[in-house]
Amino acid sequence: NAGVTQTPKFRILKIGQSMTLQCTQDMNHNYMYWYRQDPGMGLKLIYYSVGAGITDKGEVPNGYNVSRSTTEDFPLRLELAAPSQTSVYFCASSILAGEINEQFFGPGTRLTVL
């Protein structure tokens, strides 16, 4: 299993540009998440999905959109990039096993908006 994969690893955007961060998992997990991590800060939840076709906002959803057409894929869309969106973005997936809900993280996408 590859686990959770993310592309690209790095990206520089100009203000106002748009892009899609890709996330794929091959563990058949029903839950998927997008987080952003700013320096010295914890992870903040942007959006999450409890299954194909179902998405919901997290703590910091403004400026982002998601879709979940398949169990495997959960892309994150930035429509009008702003400097405040400079961050490291992590995708994660999980499946509830009893009471344990271990989240598996991808390697991250480092995004800079200039």
Kindly tell me which of 17 and 60 has the beta carbon lying closer to other proteins. 60
* Neighbour-count burial for 76-104, b at 16+ CB within 10 Å, e otherwise: bebeebeeebbbbbbbbbbeeeeeeeebb
**Smallest separation (angstroms) from other proteins to the CB of 58:** 7
**Smallest separation (angstroms) from other proteins to the CB of 80:** 26
Residues that bind other proteins (CB under 8 A): 31, 35, 40-45, 48, 50, 58-59, 90, 92, 94, 96, 99-108
Kindly tell me which of 14 and 99 has the beta carbon lying closer to other proteins. 99
Kindly tell me which of 17 and 30 has the beta carbon lying closer to other proteins. 30
User: 93: which residues sit within 8 A by CB, 6+ positions away?
Assistant: 4, 25, 27, 29, 31, 32, 33, 74, 103, 104
**Smallest separation (angstroms) from other proteins to the CB of 83:** 22
**Smallest separation (angstroms) from other proteins to the CB of 42:** 4
Q: Do residues 99 and 39 touch, judged by C-beta distance below 8 A? A: no
